[in-house]
Amino acid sequence: MLGAHTDSPCLKIKPVSKKQGEGFLQVGVETYGGGLWHTWFDRDLGLAGRVMVRGSDGKIAQKLVHIDKPLLRVPTLAIHLDRQETFQFNKETQLFPIAGLVAAELKRKAGKGDAIEEDTTKEFSVMKVTTQRHHEHIVELIADDCDADPEDIVDFEVVLYDTQKACLGGLTDEFIFSARLDNLNQTYCGTMALIGSVKKDSALDNETAIRLFAAFDHEEIGSTTAQGADSSMLPGVIRRLSVLPASSFADSESDKSYDKTNDPDLSTAYEQTLSCSFLISADMAHSVHPNYAAKYEADHKPEMNKGPVIKVNANNRYATNSPGIVLLQEVARKAPKKIDTDEAGVPLQVFVVRNDSSCGSTIGPMLAAALGARTLDLGNPQLSMHSCRETGGADDVHHAIRLFSSFFEHYSSLEKTILVD
């Protein structure tokens, strides 16, 4: 199994977001996760998320929206008006985006011929409708994006994001400058590796294991949610997979009389499958920072483009242990050759934090505890984790994909060769 998370710190539109001040239209936002919030100032912010839309049949369905346009901005205060040494701000009152001007909105409405008078024929509504809770223009843009009428937008969960596209950077394109490398980088590598590992028709001919990739939401806020890593979701999925009798894949018609509840082999199949399973928890790691090198433990300074970083912590903030490190080395050794080169194997690095430093954590320890399966934490090195725009290494994407492919392809055979009582 390979596990990752898909969420990142961001600003999320509040349930009632319509605000204005000093002639500006403003949008109330909540902070999601532990962002480096000062990096969100002076960015060109768009909107994306999910919307609940009432259809003509009366049913309410989820639709995804993405308004790829700089609609909002959190403006800094000019240095001439505030010469503070360190940039400090209030997250409620000063991390507060502007979305337009009141005058422009009035002109837009007048242009549309919208009547200002109150509609007295309105039906009873349990809650204020979306166009009353949010700026009408924003609701209209969201409705447009999902081909619905504004009055059919029942509710939405929409976040702000930087509209600047990801790009390669550095003198020889060795960097990736992008938002959300933590953790879409590892989500991407895991997805590509799983797809790649089953590309050949014969890929699963001798496979005795199930290759599974799980990408969770809500890691940045602690994972204790219905679909987070600290829920019963992954154990539930594995339980269902493990009690499927092999014959149900082959020919379900032929053994209708088969009662799996009475099969002694299946009653403990879940526990058995976990005892011989292995989970790689893939989440980004910290590359050494040239301007703050003293913040890193002297012998554990991961370098960019030198391969995935195995994270070790004596207090189990990371779930890595020795048998896992040994297994991963074998996996890395057997990794497929780099495209167009003879370079075999994937380089690996190790990381521990200084004893006098705080330490992050991942979905690794909680999944290890919930599953009782061997687990290892690793991730590609990056700079500026939780910034609005982060920096990673371009080669490390290839490194991780090759490593994860090798894990999927070779785990079943390697598992038997590493003996732990």
Which residues make up the interface to Zn ion (CB under 5 A)?
182-183, 283
Which alpha helices (DSSP H) does 220-351 contain, by range?
233-242, 247-250, 264-267, 269-275, 322-333
Residues present in the chain in total:
421
198 backbone φψ class: left, alpha, beta (φ>0; ψ -120 to 50): alpha
For Zn ion, the closer CB: 166 or 203: 166
Helix 363-371 with 233-242: angle, nearest 10 deg: 40
For Zn ion, the closer CB: 145 or 377: 377
Nearest distance from residue 184's CB to Zn ion, in Å?
A: 10
| CA pair distance 3, 6, nearest whole angstrom | 10
Residue with token string 């960097």: 175
Q: How many CA atoms lie within 13 A of 132 on its CB side?
A: 8
For Zn ion, the closer CB: 13 or 215: 215
Nearest distance from residue 365's CB to Zn ion, in Å?
A: 14
Nearest distance from residue 5's CB to Zn ion, in Å?
A: 6
In degrees rounded to 5, what are phi and psi of residue 263?
-80, 115
- Which residues, at least 6 apart from 97, have a Cβ–Cβ distance to it below 8 Å? 11, 26, 27, 29, 45, 72, 73, 74, 160
Terminal C-alpha separation, the chain: 21
Nearest distance from residue 230's CB to Zn ion, in Å?
A: 14
Beta partners for 214?
A: 3
For Zn ion, the closer CB: 4 or 373: 4
Nearest distance from residue 106's CB to Zn ion, in Å?
A: 44
For Zn ion, the closer CB: 1 or 67: 1
Nearest distance from residue 217's CB to Zn ion, in Å?
A: 12
For Zn ion, the closer CB: 26 or 287: 287
Sign of the dihedral through C-alpha 18, 24, 27, 31: negative
